[in-house]
Structure 1
Amino acid sequence: MADAAVANPRPRAPMREVTAWDQLKRNRNWLGFWFMVPAIAFLVLFLVYPLAKGIWISFTDAKIGRGGTFIGLENYEWLVGDTDFIRALVFTIVFTVVASAIKFAIGLYLALLLNNNLPFKALIRSIVLIPFIVPTVLSAVAFWWIFDTQFSVITWGLVKLGFLPKGGVINWLGDPFLAQCSVIFANIWRGIPFVAITLLAGLQTVSPSLYEAATLDGATKWQIFRHITYPLLTPIIAVVMTFSVLFTFTDFQLIWAMTRGGPVNATQLMATLSYQRGILGGNLGEGAAIATAMIPFLLATIMLSWFGLQRRKWQAGENTD
């Protein structure tokens, strides 16, 4: 029997041909792609599609309750001559530049300060985060009370200090210039913790041996910051300031809860004006055109950050020549 089994072995089953699908499933280079598929689908569904839909609506005369017809660049041509849009565009740029610059300066200072060996350092870091974790609307309501014409705590303090006569008031949110300063101050207060904590995380990655070597060479604190801290922190600065600018440029909640874009559209951002024209006014095409007009500015911010990071590739050991 054994000899017969050896002489007549059982025939092997024919091997199944390896298909392209099998190779894709087993290829390690494609493994990352499969893990990214759910995230890609989520972004396409909730980001790419609404963005494309909004751009399409901006080329139509759509209104709430009825579909629109294609009118080309008519909405954009009308915006060029709209004084309210021009004013909102200018204030949006001023609001973003001023608030982002001040947030970066104060945030960097706080990060350098918190990077030192301070007593109760963990508690201080937690306190610094409070403005960022408080809901935006709650912060806006608090600032709305702080800058209230009759009950402003700032006005009360100025009266107590003798800078204002008894019974004197300051129309913080009723005067166009003061209202602009008030909303910028509120945005700065909310954004500083994000910048400070993120830069502090970047500072934790800098090797202490670099500071020790510079100190032994007789470098001053300014020289250490200029030639060690700042260059090594540049990639983190580029990323954090990109997000800071994007958050500031599109800060709808704070403005809408504090001033509704007033007085006389003095604090109107492009985001609030788009909501006012598109949703409250019912002109979806016009509102979408205003929102779409924000895209070039946001892309410019992202590209500026990208090129800034490319110039610092030497930190990762790459050659930039």
Structure 2
Amino acid sequence: MSSTTIRRGSAPPRASFFERLSQSRNGLGFLFMLPAAIFLLCFLTYPLGLGVWLGFTDAKIGRSGIFIGLENYEYLMRDRVFWMSVFNTVFYTAIASILKFGLGLWLAVILNENLPCKSLFRAIILLPWVVPTVLSALAFWWIYDAQFSVISYVLMKWGWISAPINFLGDPWNARLSVIAANVWRGIPFVAISLLAGLQTVPASLHEAAALDGATSWQRFRRITLPLLTPIIAVVMTFSVLFTFTDFQLIYVLTKGGPVNATHLMATLSFQRGIPGGALGEGAAIAVAMVPFLLAAILFSFFGLQRRKWQQGGSD
């Protein structure tokens, strides 16, 4: 009797650490995120740290180099080609992102209407995004060919021009040409993402506004656009990041030419670091891109904060 009483009155066995972790919602979240965190630590954090370190050295291909402080950055401050790449990168990113947003939003609004074969149109619009970048660049390289450009051929047939356009041989023509290629590739991502956001806008809000006499533009401006703000912030942040760090499209089309007119910071970093052999200098150019990328991330953060304010949320 006494042993049975003691057994019944004793405290239940304490759960193990793994049992408590599996029963905790935060613990399960931690377990699910752990593989991704390890992956990011190994394949992103380490290369980033190594790149920052190389930027402070005079490392060359085949030689580890020594610590030289800010000499690479001081050299870049006096390098005309570097500043041209900064201008090209900002110009390329700004113009391409604005065009992708405007055209993508326009397409999203059209695809949100009750159109026949709407699913087919959505699938077709995705094609530029799913085609490999190098294949797209090769197609545009043919379209922009100095002698056999299909654009020049059509315009000459129409009598609009008398000679083929030198798309990739003239500095400003080359800048605008690569922007056009980037916009063609990037519009589907923006359009489909914003279309998903448009489908979450309650139809009852538009119906109520229409009953109050609001026009289509007023409903779009006062209802749709504010509700799309957080999605626009996130989508455009990714779009800016993809555009700012673009490498494949530029490298295949122009390799930074003519006369460095289309060099972005990413392509210049590669050219100086790999074919040029100056790993330290190339790493310094790559590190110089970080402040711009952080600015894009902050843009997304404040867009999400605005969404919380609209919803009356609080931390």
Which TM-score applies when normalising by structure 1? 0.93
Q: Distance in 2 between matches of 1:214 and 1:25?
A: 48
Q: Per-residue deviation at 1:314?
A: 3.2
Structure 2 CA distance for partners of 1:36 and 1:319, relative to 1, 3 Å: closer
1:145-294 matched pairs, under 5 angstroms:
145-165=142-162, 168-294=163-289
Cα distance in structure 2, aligned partners of 1:230 and 1:28: 35
For the structure 1 residues 190 and 10, does the alpha-carbon distance in structure 2 shift closer, same or farther, using more than 3 Å as the test? same
**Shift of residue 10 of structure 1?**
9.8
> Does residue 49 of structure 1 match 2:46?
yes
How far apart are the structure 1 equivalents of 2:37 and 2:48?
Answer: 15
Write out aligned runs for 1:20-99 (5 A): 23-24=20-21, 26-99=23-96
Q: Which residue of 2 aligns with 1:111?
A: 108
> Is the contact between residue 133 and residue 249 of structure 2 (CA under 8 Å) also seen in structure 1?
yes
The one-letter amino acid of 2:295's match is A
Name the aligned partner's letter for residue 40 of structure 2. L
DSSP-derived class of the 2:126 partner: helix
TM-superposition CA deviations, 1:204-259 (whole Å, max 9, x none): 10111111111111001111011100000001000000000000001100000000
Separation (CA, whole Å) in 1 of partners of 2:210 and 2:304: 28
Question: Residue by residue, what CA displacement relative to the aligned partner does 1:96-128 show, whole Å, maximum 9, x if unpaired?
Answer: 000000100000000001100011111111111
Separation in structure 2 between the aligned mates of residue 170 and residue 203 of structure 1, nearest angstrom: 40
Structure 2 CA distance, aligned partners of 1:44 and 1:184? 34
Q: CA deviation at 1:25?
A: 5.3
CA distance in 2, matches of 1:44, 1:318: 32
> How far apart are the structure 2 equivalents of 1:10 and 1:221?
78
Conserved 8 A contact 2:133-2:248:
yes
Specify the code of the residue in structure 1 equivalent to 2:124: I
Structure 1 stretches of 5 or more lacking a match? 1-5
Conserved 8 A contact 2:108-2:191 = yes
Rg larger for: 1
CA separation in 2, counterparts of 1:32 and 1:319?
A: 22
Helix, strand or coil for the counterpart of 1:280? coil
Question: CA offset at residue 162 of structure 1?
Answer: 0.7
Structure-1 residue corresponding to 2:294 = 299
CA RMSD of aligned residues (A): 1.9
Tell me how far apart the structure 2 counterparts of residues 237 and 56 of structure 1 sit (CA, whole Å): 35
- SS for the counterpart of 1:172 is coil
Residues 121-164 of structure 1 show CA distances to partners (whole Å, capped at 9, x for unaligned) of 11111111111111100000000000000100011011100112
Distance 2:51 2:249 in 1: 23
Question: Quick one: structure 1 residues 114 and 22, their matched pair in 2 at CA, closer, same or farther if it must change by over 3 Å?
Answer: closer
1:71 counterpart SS class:
coil
1:139 aligns with 2:124: no
Amino acid at match of 1:117: N
User: Within 2, Cα distance between the matches of 1:231 and 1:181?
Assistant: 32
Distance 1:118 1:149 in 2: 40
Determine the C-alpha separation between the residues in 2 that align with 1:7 and 1:229: 74
Q: Distance in 1 between matches of 2:131 and 2:234?
A: 23
C-alpha separation between the residues in 2 aligned to 1:7 and 1:114?
78
Percent of aligned pairs with the same amino acid: 64
Q: How many residues are aligned here?
A: 313
Give the CA deviation at 1:31. 1.9
SS of 2:201's equivalent? Answer: coil
